[in-house]
């Protein structure tokens, strides 16, 4: 996404969407770990759950970039 060409409203929508996705993925990941733990699953079934931090990191990085851009727009500098 090109931040300079995107409207402020579009950036705010994207920020809200990323926040929601981070919350949902965190809840799903936590639930999956708890379920697998109580089912005494083999380690191989935990691998997809262990990959979730990679997804979190990329979404959090995008969210940080968008917040920085919104902050710079609100202060009037770029």
pTM for the model stands at 0.71
Q: What is the DSSP letter of 41?
A: -
Listed in sequence order, the residues at least 6 apart from 52 whose beta carbon sits closer than 8 Å to its beta carbon are 25, 29
pLDDT tens-digit series, residues 25-46: 888 888 888 888 888 878 777 7
pLDDT tens-digit series, residues 39-73: 887 877 777 777 888 888 888 898 999 899 888 88
Residue 1 has pLDDT above 60, yes or no: no
């Amino acid at each position: 996404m090109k931040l300079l060409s995107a409207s402020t409203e579009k950036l705010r929508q994207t920020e809200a969407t990323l926040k929601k996705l981070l919350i949902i993925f965190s809840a799903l990941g936590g639930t999956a770990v708890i379920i697998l733990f109580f089912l005494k699953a083999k380690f191989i079934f935990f691998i997809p759950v262990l990959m979730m931090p990679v997804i979190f990191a990329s979404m959090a990085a995008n969210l940080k970039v968008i917040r920085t851009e919104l902050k710079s727009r609100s202060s009037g500098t770029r």
